[in-house]
Amino acid sequence: MSAPQLVVLAGGLGTRLRGVVDDVPKPMAPVNGRPFLEHVLRALARQGFERVLLCVGYRAAQIEQHFGDGSRLGLSIRYAHEPADALLGTAGALRQAGAQLEDRFVVINGDTYLDADLAPLLAAPLSPAGATLGLVSVPDVDRYGTVALDARGRIVRFAEKGQRGPGLINAGVYVMDRRALEALEDGAPRSLERDLFPALVTRGLLGGHVLEGEMTDIGTPESYARFQLRDLVDVSLSESARVLAETARVCGRAITDAAALLVAAYRAGGQSLWCGNGGSASDAQHLVCELVSKLNHERRALPALALGTNLSIVTAIGNDYAFDQVFARQVDAHARPGDVLVAISTSGASASVLEAARRAHARGARVIGLTGRDGGALAALCDVAVIVPSNSTQHIQEAHIAIGHVLCDAIERAAMGDAA
**Strand 76-81 to 51-56 pairing:** parallel
Q: State whether 245 and 208 are in the same domain.
A: no
pLDDT digits (tens, 9 = 90+) for 126-149: 887 788 999 999 988 877 888 999
Domain boundary among 189, 219, 249: 219
Q: State whether 312 and 199 are in the same domain.
A: no
234 located within any domain: no
232 located within any domain: no
Q: How many helices (H) and strands (E) would you count in the chain?
A: 12, 18
Q: Which residues contact 26 (CB under 8 A, 6 or more apart)?
A: 12, 13, 14, 17, 36, 110, 111, 218, 219
Q: State whether 395 and 286 are in the same domain.
A: yes
225 located within any domain: no
pLDDT digits (tens, 9 = 90+) for 21-36: 667 888 898 898 899 9
Q: Which band of pLDDT confidence, cut at 50, 70 and 90, is reported for residue 19?
A: low
pLDDT digits (tens, 9 = 90+) for 371-406: 999 999 999 999 999 999 999 999 999 999 999 999
Q: State whether 212 and 257 are in the same domain.
A: no
Domain boundary among 219, 250, 267: 219
Q: State whether 185 and 264 are in the same domain.
A: no
- The pLDDT, as a whole number, for residue 115 is 93
- The pLDDT, as a whole number, for residue 38 is 95
- The pLDDT, as a whole number, for residue 419 is 59
pLDDT digits (tens, 9 = 90+) for 45-99: 999 999 999 999 888 999 999 999 999 999 999 999 887 666 778 888 888 888 8
Distance CA 327, CA 77 (A): 60
226 located within any domain: no
- The pLDDT, as a whole number, for residue 395 is 97
CB 356 within 8 A of CB 341: yes
Give the helix/strand (H/E) hosting 287.
helix 279-292
Q: State whether 213 and 245 are in the same domain.
A: no
Question: In sequence order, what are the beta bridge partners of 147?
Answer: 158
Q: State whether 175 and 295 are in the same domain.
A: no
* pLDDT at residue 363 is higher than 90: yes
- The pLDDT, as a whole number, for residue 178 is 83
CATH of the domain at 391: 3.40.50.10490
Q: State whether 212 and 245 are in the same domain.
A: no
330 located within any domain: yes
CATH of the domain at 160: 3.90.550.10
**Strand 104-109 to 167-177 pairing:** antiparallel
Which residue in 126, 124, 167, 127 sits closest to 145, CA to CA? Answer: 167
Domain count, the chain: 2
- Residue 394: phi, psi to the nearest 5? -65, -40
Which residue in 345, 341, 340, 342 sits closest to 376, CA to CA? Answer: 345
- The pLDDT, as a whole number, for residue 412 is 95
CB 137 within 8 A of CB 166: yes
* pLDDT at residue 183 is higher than 90: no
Q: State whether 213 and 256 are in the same domain.
A: no
pTM (predicted TM-score): 0.80
224 located within any domain: no
58 located within any domain: yes
DSSP H helices in 293-392? 311-320, 328-334, 351-362, 376-380
CB half-sphere exposure, 212, CA atoms < 13 A: 3
Q: How many CB atoms lie within 10 A of CB 142?
A: 13
Range of the domain at 75: 5-219
Q: Which of residues 161 and 199 earns the better pLDDT score?
A: 199
Q: State whether 287 and 377 are in the same domain.
A: yes
Q: State whether 185 and 263 are in the same domain.
A: no
227 located within any domain: no
- The pLDDT, as a whole number, for residue 86 is 66
